[in-house]
Amino acid sequence: MTKHGFEEVLSPHLYFDREHKTEAAKILPGEFYATGRQMVLVTVLGSCVCACIRDKVSGIGGMNHFMLPGSSKPVKRGALEIPDLARIGIYAMELLVNQLLKLGADRGRLVAKA
């Protein structure tokens, strides 16, 4: 939980990255991660798409990893049940942007890279 009281993760793959000497989150297809902390966000892309979005002033940012086609059946990731819709671009972007706003990011200052 963050200081705002909102869960910041739909990616249970957190670890310490020895190369960068910092916390890291690995984002798999259908997942996203949003945070205000200084850390590394990583993913491996094949035919999927990844978007990185951050508020350039507050430092709040995140990453998602999605595929364009999808179905509506949920996918089990550990204790979390992720709607397969998180694998569809427009819904995945909405999830990430909404989480960034909950963490305190300002929509007008968001910068994105795909």
CA-to-CA distance for 34 and 18, rounded, in angstroms? 21
For the annotated catalytic residues, the residue numbers are 43, 48, 65
Contact, 10 vs 86, CB < 8 A? Answer: yes
Radius of gyration, alpha carbons of the chain: 13
CA-to-CA distance for 6 and 89, rounded, in angstroms? 23
